[in-house]
Amino acid sequence: MFSYLIDKISNTKFETTPFKHLEINNFFKEEHFNEIINQKEINFPKFKDDNDLITYLENNNYQSIEFPGCITSAKDYIKWHKNKLGKILNVSSTEGFGMTYRLINPISKIIIDLNNFFKSYEFRDILSKKFNINLDEVTFDQGIQKYLDGYEISPHPDIRLKAVTFMININPEKKSEINNHHTHYMTIKKNYKYIQEYWEGNQDVDRCWLPWDWCETFKEQKLNNSIVIFAPNNESFHAVKANYNHLLYQRTQMYGNFWWKNNLEKILNIKSQPKWENFIIKQINQKPKEKLLTKIYNKIKKKI
């Protein structure tokens, strides 16, 4: 049913700005996309409050998962989200957090077919060929996910364990493109290029999240029915900061990754992961220079 997507990926040329990636708009056929976003698993009713939404998710085959920029405790999330106040249960470069729910057992035929396609060898094979990766060296995970308001990952290139990642927007709201919950694709500012160079020269050090104002957005993946695929490297900066009304609809994606297997020697060689605070360059305090008149006065005084 979805085999035409293989040709789309195969025939698409890489974009090189802001880093090497594939981007395909109108990824699914229009009739397929419309059918996908109108299924019960994707298109939810409107909710009166957070508790109502989370109860619905948990009663309809969605499960809270550990995910960057998120927590798994609905109780803690609801308490924080009421006023977006309190302790930030996230990394120090962010101002908030959300929850991510993954669809565990789809029911609709087209969603089952969709899930099976992205699990298939056919799909994994085209990704491996496009990014020159040996499938024996990676594991694969994927799924349909909904991200609640507050979800935030500050600019980062992804950890070295991740080999390939892909994201497809399948939002059930026609106006989703104008809302604020999309992935930013970014470049690091010139003043902080030394961090990128440090990662390049220290392959045993993992990459970390950086503050938002250390990077600049080149573009956002706003279009519904679009896919972006890339192999993380030292310049693949991306970020998300969701600020929208998730009671009306939820940011929804088909999301997946290749992960380098843990027994690979290159993974075992990763020894540390400095945080962004470790990359701040502090000026060493120097004794202030004496004014010329003061120096002359001190010399005269010494001679007298």
Give the model's pLDDT for residue 263.
59
> Are 181 and 240 in contact, with CB atoms under 8 Å apart?
yes
Number of Cβ within 10 Å of residue 38's Cβ equals: 12
Alpha-carbon distances, residue 70 vs 37, 66, 105, 227 (angstroms): 24, 7, 22, 22
What is the edge-to-edge ordering of all strands in the sheet holding 237-241? 152-156, 237-241, 184-188, 215-220
Helix (H) / strand (E) element for 138: namely strand 138-147
The whole-number pLDDT of residue 142 equals 96
| H or E stretch covering 19 | none
pLDDT of res. 285: 59
Which pLDDT does position 299 carry in this prediction? Answer: 57
Q: What is the pLDDT of residue 287?
A: 57
Residues 248, 175: contact at Cβ < 8 Å? no
Q: CA-to-CA distance for 51 and 252, rounded, in angstroms?
A: 19
Residue 198's pLDDT is: 95
Query: Residue 303's pLDDT is what?
Result: 57
Q: Which two tokens stand for residue 25?
A: 């708009």
Residues sharing a CB contact under 8 Å with residue 303, sequence separation 6 or more, in sequence order: none
Predicted confidence pLDDT, tens digits, the chain (304 residues): 899 999 999 999 999 999 999 999 999 999 999 999 999 999 999 999 999 999 999 999 999 999 999 999 999 999 999 988 777 777 888 888 999 999 999 999 999 999 999 999 999 999 999 999 999 999 999 999 999 999 999 999 999 999 999 999 999 998 999 999 999 999 999 999 999 999 999 988 999 999 999 999 999 999 999 999 999 999 999 999 999 999 999 999 999 999 998 755 555 578 888 999 999 987 555 555 556 666 655 655 555 5
Please say whether the beta carbons of 120 and 50 come within 8 A.
no
Q: Cβ neighbours of residue 161 under 8 Å, at least 6 residues apart?
A: 259, 260, 267, 270
**What superfamily in CATH does domain 4-303 come from?**
q2cbj1_9rhob like domain (2.60.120.620)
At 130 the pLDDT is 97
Could you identify the residue written with the tokens 């030394």?
A: 194
